[in-house]
C-alpha cells in the first residue's frame, strides 16, 4: 500500500525545524511502523539524503525508547501500543501520517524525532527508589505481601518511561509517570518507610524540571502503552497531602 | 601454559567463603580515592555500579541508550532462578549447580557455577527488598514456576516482565547513587576503546553520541557489562543496539575471547515474515509449560491446523523425549524444530515454523487460567502476526537469543588483562555450551551485586596504579585510533548502506554458523567473511559527520566489529570438532541424532588471543575438570 509521511526534520536542538513530505509507494501491511521508517531511511541514504533520526532499541514495546506523535496522538492510533509494536495493517492505502517528536518543555528536541527525556531519570534519582544497600535484605518471604497489593504494584511498575503521557498532556505534566512509580513502591510494605519523603522529593524535582501540573484531563491514560490508570495520580495526590500534613507537625502513622 | 582460572580448591560448598576471606579489603576511607569505570547499565552493569558506589568507590557509568533503564535486560520475560526450595520439591543449591553444569553440557567451570547457585538465594532477597513486585500467592508468599527444562519450581517472576522489574530495581538503586553524587552517569555515550597502560586496563575512550565528542576517562579499574553479541546474526531477539564493540575492542587490546562459537538459539520465537524484518521477537519459553509442539506427520500437508486430526500430527518432542517432553532444553528443542522443517514438515507460508498449540491446555484449565498465565504474550503474538492464538496454534521458529561465549575471566571475574573485569552476558563464565532458562538474569545480578564488589577490592588493595593524565601517550594513541575508525567509515563514501551489509553477514552466519554447523560450511564462511569485510570498508555509505547525532555512523562501527568477530566465531566452531550444547557439528552426532561430545579432546575453554585483523588468532586453553558432576551424555529421553 501507499503511505504518505510528513516528518518533522530538525538538524539539532538549536536549528529550526520543518515538516518534510515523503511518499512510500510499497508498504507491506505486516511491517511494523519502525520497519517502515527503516525502509524510508535506506531509501534516503541511497539518494544521499540524511536519514530520519528516531530512537528505538528493543522493538518489543518494553524498553520505552521509541515513540513519536502520529497525527497528533502519542504512539499512534492503536491503544495500549508503543510505536514499535504498531503494525502497518492498522493503516490503509493512501493514508497521510504526520510524525512529530514528543512535545514538552521538559523534553527538548535533540534531532528530528529524538528528544531528551533525562528529566525522567532525575525524577527517579530524587526519590523514586527504596534505600536498601546490597546485602542487607532479609529472606524474601520474611515480609508477606498480599497478592492484590503485589498485583496492583505490578500494574503500576509496568510503566516503561517512554514519555507519551507527558507528550500528550496539554500541561506537559509528568503526573502519570510519577504516580506510577509512587504507586509501585507505595503499595508494597518495603516502600512504606520512605513513602512521605519520596512523594515530596519527586514533586519538588518535577517543578524544577518544568513539568506542568495535572488538571485531570486524562489524555495520558488514553495513550499510555502500558495502560497505567489515572488512579495512580489520585494516589499520588493523597500521598502528597498526607506527607505535607506530616511535615506540618502531624504524627508519623497518622 | 594453560590458563589459570584461580578457582579455589577444596570442598566446593565452602570455596566462595574461603576465597572471600582470603581477599584483601580496602579501607572504607580509602575507597573514595579510587575510581572505577562501569560500562553498561543492564542487570550486570547497573547492579555493579550501584553496589560499588554504596561501598564508597567513585563510579563512572556509561550506556548508549538515553537512560540506564533501557538496557537490553529490560526485555527478559520469563523469570529468574533461585534455589530457595520454597516448594519443598527437592530443590537445593546443589541441584541448581548440578542442573546448570549438565545443562551447559559440561563446558563450564564447576567452581563458578556452584557460587552462582549459592548466590541465587541472596538475589531474590535483595530484589524483594528493593520493591521488585514478584508474583505472589494469595497467602502473600512468593510464587514460583518451573521453567526451561527444570523439574523443580525455582523460577521467580513478575508477570511476563521479570527482566524489566529486576532492571528497574537495579536502575533505581543506581539512580539513588547518582542523586547522591556517588555515580557520574554518562548516557548516550559509547565506549569505543580500552586504554591499557603497562598491561593494565586504565580507562576507556568514549564518543558522546549527541555531539560526537571523543573523550577519555581514566580509572583504577574498568568493568564491562556490555551484554552479548547475538546481533552478529542481524536477526536476533536482542535489542537493535546490542553490540560487541566494547568487548571486541578490549579483545583487540589483549583480552582473550572465550568460546565465541557458543551461541544459543531460542526455540520459541515468532517466525520471519519478510525481507524488511528488523528483529525477531521471543515468545517466552514458559509457554512450553502448557503449549504442545507439533507438525503434520505428512510432508507438505497444506490443511489448516484445526483440520489436521490428532492421528496426523507429530508431537515430536513428546515422542522423542518422553520424560521431558515439551520442556527439553533450548538447544534440543531448537535442533528438533530445524530437523522437522528440513524434512519438509514445517508449517506456515515459508515452511520454516512449527506449531505451539494451547488447545488442550485451554480445554483442561479453561481460558481464564491461560489468560492469567500468558495473556500479555498472547497479545504480543496477535499484535505482531495479526492472528489470535486462542483460536489457532501459534507458529514459532528458533532464533538467536543469547551468547554463552564472551571475554575470558577468572574466578574473580577479571580478564587476563589486570584491572579489566567482565560481568553478565559479556563474559563467558557460567553457562558452558548452553544456558538454561532464567539463569542469565541470575548470573548478571550475581556478578554485579555480589561477586564483583567482593573480588575487585582485592585488586584495588593489592595494586599500586601509577598516576596518569589525559596527556599519556597510551591515551592519545587510543583516541587517535577511535578518530581514525570514524574517519575511515565516513570517508568510504561507497554505495551500500550499513544495514545491507549487516543483513548479508547475518544471513551467512545463520546459514553456516547457526543451528548446525559443518566443517565444509565453516570453511566456506571463513572465505566469504574477509572478502565481505573488505568490501564493507571500501564501499559502505555513511552520510553526515562525526560531530552530530549520527545513527548510521554508530551502526557502522558496530557492524565493522561484527565482521571481525564473525570470523573468530567460525574459526572457533571449526576447531571444536565435537558437538556440545548449542554448538552442533553435523559430523559429530550419536546414531539417534543427539550431540556427541568429545571429552577427551575438548574438555577445555577455548580462549583466543587477537593477533591482528586477518591474522590467525592464538589459542590458549583452560582445561576443565569435573570433580562433582561427572560428564555423561545429557539425556532428556
Ligand atoms: C527477549 C529476551 C528475553 C530474555 N529472557 C530471559 C529470561 O526470562 N531469563 C533470563 O535469565 N534471561 C533472559 N534473557 C537473557 C538476559 O536478558 C540477558 O542475558 C541479560 O539481561 C544480559 O544482561 P547484561 O547486563 O549482561 O547486558 P545488557 O542488559 O545487554 O546490558 C548491556 C549494557 O551495556 C551498554 N553497552 C553496550 N555496549 C556499550 C558500549 N560500547 N558503550 C557503552 N555502553 C554499552 C548498554 O547500553 C547496556 O546498558 C532474555 C534475553 C532476551 C533477548
Ligand atoms: S523500541 Fe523499545 S519500546 Fe519501542
DSSP for B161-215 reads: -HHHHHHHHHHHHHHHHHHTTSEEEE-SEEEEEEEEETTEEEEEEEEETTT--EE
Identify the structural domains of chain B with CATH numbers, from first to last: 266-400 (3.90.700.10), 473-615 (1.20.58.100)
Give residue A253's pLDDT.
Answer: 46
Residue bearing cell 560487541: B244
Does residue B581 register a pLDDT over 60?
A: yes
Q: A3-110 falls under which CATH superfamily? A: Beta-grasp domain (3.10.20.30)
E strands, chain A, in order: 3-9, 18-24, 69-70, 73-74, 96-100, 109-111, 114-115
SS3 label, residue B408: coil
The residue among B448, B456, B455 whose CA lies nearest residue B51 is B448
Indicate which of A15, A37, A58 best probes the interface with B, i.e. most B CBs within 10 Å of its own CB: A58
pLDDT category at B455 given cuts 50, 70, 90 is very high
Residue-wise pLDDT tens digits, A104-131: 999 999 999 999 999 999 999 999 999 9
For the segment B76-107, what is each residue's pLDDT rounded down to a tens digit?
988 999 999 999 999 999 999 999 999 999 99
Beta bridge partner(s), residue B355: B294, B395
Under 8 Å between Cβ of B73 and B444: yes
Listed residue (B537, B458, B554) closest to B496, CA to CA: B537
At residue B603, does pLDDT exceed 70?
Answer: yes
Per-domain boundaries in chain A = 3-110, 117-247
B16 or B635, which is more confident? B16
- Per-residue pLDDT of B220-246, as tens digits, reads 999 999 999 999 999 999 999 999 999
- Grouping H, G, I as helix, E, B as strand and the rest as coil, residue A248 is coil
Predicted local distance difference test score (pLDDT) of residue A232: 98
Which residue has a Cα nearest atom 15 of ligand 1? B440
Tell me the count of A-B CB pairs closer than 8 A: 212
* Cβ atoms of residues B117 and B101 within 8 Å: no
pLDDT at B593: 83
Query: Which CATH fold topology does A117-247 show?
Result: Fumarate Reductase Iron-sulfur Protein; Chain B, domain 2 (1.10.1060)
* Distance separating alpha carbons of residues B338 and B334, to the nearest angstrom: 6
**Window A:203-242, CB contacts with B under 8 Å:** none
Q: What is the pTM of this model?
A: 0.97
d(CA B544, CA A124): 35
Confidence of residue A198 (pLDDT cuts 50, 70, 90): very high
The rounded distance, in Å, linking the Cα atoms of B175 and B25 is: 26
Neighbours of B91 (CB within 10 A): 22
Instruction: Indicate the helix (H) or strand (E) that contains B270.
Output: none
- For residue A197, is pLDDT > 90? yes
Q: How many residues does chain B have?
A: 637
Q: Dig out the grid coordinates for B550 from the structure.
A: 549520527
CB-nearest to A57 from B70, B453, B544 is B70
Q: Please state the atom number of ligand 2 nearest to the C-alpha of residue A58.
A: 2
> Is a pLDDT exceeding 80 seen at residue B1?
no
CA A85 to centroid of ligand 2, rounded, Å: 8
* DSSP β-bridge partners for residue B420: B222
Calculate what percentage of chain B has a pLDDT beyond 70.
100
Q: Where are the alpha helices (DSSP H) in B428-497?
A: 440-445, 452-462, 473-491
The answer to whether B222 touches B197, Cβ cutoff 8 Å, is no
Q: Are B502 and B555 in contact (CB under 8 A)?
A: yes
Which ligand is the nearest neighbour of the Cα of B241?
1
For residue B265, give the H/E element and its range. strand B263-269
Q: Does B331 score more than 90 pLDDT?
A: no
Q: For residues A176 and A179, give the distance between their C-alpha atoms in angstroms, rounded to a whole number.
A: 5
For B135-186, the pLDDT digits (tens) are 999 999 999 988 876 889 999 999 889 999 999 999 999 999 999 999 999 9
- What are φ and ψ of residue A74, in 5° steps? -65, 130
Distance A63 CA to ligand 2 centre (A): 5
Looking at every residue in chain B, the average pLDDT score rounds to: 96
CA distance, residue A9 to nearest chain B CA (Å): 13
Q: Which of B292, B294, B287, B326 is nearest to B308 (CA)?
A: B294
Q: So which residues of B are the catalytic ones? A: 330
Amino acid at each position: 500500500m501507499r503511505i504518505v509521511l510528513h516528518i518533522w526534520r530538525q538538524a539539532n536542538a538549536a536549528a529550526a525545524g520543518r515538516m518534510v513530505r515523503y511518499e512510500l509507494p510499497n508498504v507491506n501491511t505486516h511491517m511494523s511502523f519502525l520497519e517502515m521508517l527503516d525502509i524510508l531511511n535506506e531509501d534516503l541514504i541511497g539518494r544521499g539524503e540524511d536519514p530520519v533520526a528516531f530512537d528505538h532499541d528493543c522493538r518489543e514495546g518494553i524498553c520505552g525508547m521509541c515513540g513519536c506523535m502520529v497525527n497528533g496522538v502519542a504512539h499512534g492510533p492503536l491503544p495500549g501500543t508503543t510505536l514499535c509494536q504498531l503494525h502497518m495493517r492498522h493503516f490503509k492505502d493512501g493514508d497521510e501520517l504526520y510524525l512529530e517528536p514528543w512535545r514538552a518543555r521538559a523534553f527538548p528536541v535533540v534531532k528530528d524525532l529524538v528528544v531528551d527525556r533525562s528529566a525522567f531519570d532525575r525524577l527517579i534519582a530524587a526519590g523514586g527508589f527504596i534505600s536498601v544497600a546490597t546485602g542487607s535484605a532479609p529472606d524474601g518471604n520474611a515480609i508477606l505481601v498480599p497478592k492484590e497489593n503485589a498485583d496492583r504494584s505490578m500494574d503500576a511498575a509496568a510503566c516503561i518511561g517512554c514519555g507519551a503521557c507527558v507528550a500528550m498532556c496539554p500541561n506537559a505534566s509528568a503526573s502519570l509517570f510519577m504516580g506510577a512509580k509512587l504507586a509501585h513502591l507505595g503499595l508494597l510494605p518495603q516502600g512504606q518507610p520512605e513513602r512521605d519523603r519520596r512523594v515530596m522529593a519527586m514533586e519538588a524535582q518535577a517543578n524544577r524540571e518544568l513539568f506542568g501540573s495535572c488538571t485531570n484531563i486524562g489524555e495520558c491514560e488514553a495513550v499510555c502503552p502500558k495502560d497505567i490508570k489515572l488512579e495512580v495520580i489520585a494516589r499520588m495526590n493523597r500521598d502528597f497531602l498526607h506527607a505535607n500534613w506530616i511535615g506540618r507537625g502531624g504524627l508519623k502513622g497518622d | 601454559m594453560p590458563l589459570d582460572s584461580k578457582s579455589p580448591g577444596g570442598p566446593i560448598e565452602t570455596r566462595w567463603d574461603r576465597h572471600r576471606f582470603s581477599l584483601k579489603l580496602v579501607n572504607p576511607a580509602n575507597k573514595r580515592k579510587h575510581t572505577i569505570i562501569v560500562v553498561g547499565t543492564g542487570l550486570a552493569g547497573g547492579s555493579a555500579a550501584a553496589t560499588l558506589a554504596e561501598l564508597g568507590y567513585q563510579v563512572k557509568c556509561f550506556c548508549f541508550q538515553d537512560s540506564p533503564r533501557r538496557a537490553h535486560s529490560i526485555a527478559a520475560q520469563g523469570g529468574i532462578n533461585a534455589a530457595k526450595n520454597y516448594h519443598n520439591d527437592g530443590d537445593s543449591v546443589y541441584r541448581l549447580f548440578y542442573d546448570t553444569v549438565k545443562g551447559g553440557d559440561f563446558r563450564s567451570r564447576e567452581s563458578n557455577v556452584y557460587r552462582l547457585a549459592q548466590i541465587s538465594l541472596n538475589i531474590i532477597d535483595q530484589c524483594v527488598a528493593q520493591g521488585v513486585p514478584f508474583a505472589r500467592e494469595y497467602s502473600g508468599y512468593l510464587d514460583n514456576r518451573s521453567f526451561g527444562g527444570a523439574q523443580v519450581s525455582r523460577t521467580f517472576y513478575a508477570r511476563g516482565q521479570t527482566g524489566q522489574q529486576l532492571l528497574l530495581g537495579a536502575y533505581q538503586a543506581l539512580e539513588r547513587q547518582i542523586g547522591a553524587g556517588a555515580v557520574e552517569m554518562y548516557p548516550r555515550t559509547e565506549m569505543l576503546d580500552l586504554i591499557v597502560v603497562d598491561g593494565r586496563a586504565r580507562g576507556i575512550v568514549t564518543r558522546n553520541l549527541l555531539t560526537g565528542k571523543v573523550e577519555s576517562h581514566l580509572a583504577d579499574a574498568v568493568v564491562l557489562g556490555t551484554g552479548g553479541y547475538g546481533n552478529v546474526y542481524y536477526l536476533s531477539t536482542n535489542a537493535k543496539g546490542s553490540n560487541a564493540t566494547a568487548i571486541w575492542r578490549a579483545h583487540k587490546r589483549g583480552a582473550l575471547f572465550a568460546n565465541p562459537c557458543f551461541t544459543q538459539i531460542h526455540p520459541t520465537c515468532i517466525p520471519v515474515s519478510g525481507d524488511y524484518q528488523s528483529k525477531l521477537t521471543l515468545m517466552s519459553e514458559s509457554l512450553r509449560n502448557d503449549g504442545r509442539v507439533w507438525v503434520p506427520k505428512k510432508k507438505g500437508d497444506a490443511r489448516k491446523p484445526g483440520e489436521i486430526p490428532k492421528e496426523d500430527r507429530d508431537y515430536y518432542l513428546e515422542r522423542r523425549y518422553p520424560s521431558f517432553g515439551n520442556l527439553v532444553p533450548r538447544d534440543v528443542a531448537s535442533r528438533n524444530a530445524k530437523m522437522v522443517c528440513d524434512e519438509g514438515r514445517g508449517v506456515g507460508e515459508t515452511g520454516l515454523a512449527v506449531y505451539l498449540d494451547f488447545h488442550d491446555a485451554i480445554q483442561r484449565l479453561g481460558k481464564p487460567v491461560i489468560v492469567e498465565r500468558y495473556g500479555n504474550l498472547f497479545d504480543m503474538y496477535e499484535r505482531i502476526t495479526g492472528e489470535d492464538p486462542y483460536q489457532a496454534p501459534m507458529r514459532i521458529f528458533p532464533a538467536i537469543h543469547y551468547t554463552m561465549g564472551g571475554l575470558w575471566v577468572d574466578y574473580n571475574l577479571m580478564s587476563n588483562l589486570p584491572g579489566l573485569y567482565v560481568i553478565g552476558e559479556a563474559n563467558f563464565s557460567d553457562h558452558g555450551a548452553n544456558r538454561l532458562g532464567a539463569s542469565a538474569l541470575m548470573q548478571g545480578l550475581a556478578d554485579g551485586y555480589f561477586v564483583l564488589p567482593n573480588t575487585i577490592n582485592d585488586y584495588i588493595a593489592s595494586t599500586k596504579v601509577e598516576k596518569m593524565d589525559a596527556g599519556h601517550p597510551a591515551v592519545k594513541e587510543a583516541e587517535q585510533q577511535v578518530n581514525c575508525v570514524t574517519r575511515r567509515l565516513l570517508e568510504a563514501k561507497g554505495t551500500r548502506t550499513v544495514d545491507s551489509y549487516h543483513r548479508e553477514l547475518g544471513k551467512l552466519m545463520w546459514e553456516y554458523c547457526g543451528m548446525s554447523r559443518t566443517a565444509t560450511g565453516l570453511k566456506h564462511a571463513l572465505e566469504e567473511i574477509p572478502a565481505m569485510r573488505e568490501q564493507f570498508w571500501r564501499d559502505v555509505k555513511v552520510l553526515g559527520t562525526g560531530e552530530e547525532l549520527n545513527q548510521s555512523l554508530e551502526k557502522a562501527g558496530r557492524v565493522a566489529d561484527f565482521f571481525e568477530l564473525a570470523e573468530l566465531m567460525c574459526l572457533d566452531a571449526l576447531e571444536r570438532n565435537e558437538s556440545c550444547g548449542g554448538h552442533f557439528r553435523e559430523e559429530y552426532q550419536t546414531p539417534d541424532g543427539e550431540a556427541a561430545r568429545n571429552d577427551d579432546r575438548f574438555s577445555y575453554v577455548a580462549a583466543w588471543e587477537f593477533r591482528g585483523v586477518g591474522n590467525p588468532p592464538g589459542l590458549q586453553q583452560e582445561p576443565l575438570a569435573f570433580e562433582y558432576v561427572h560428564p555423561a551424555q545429557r539425556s532428556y529421553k
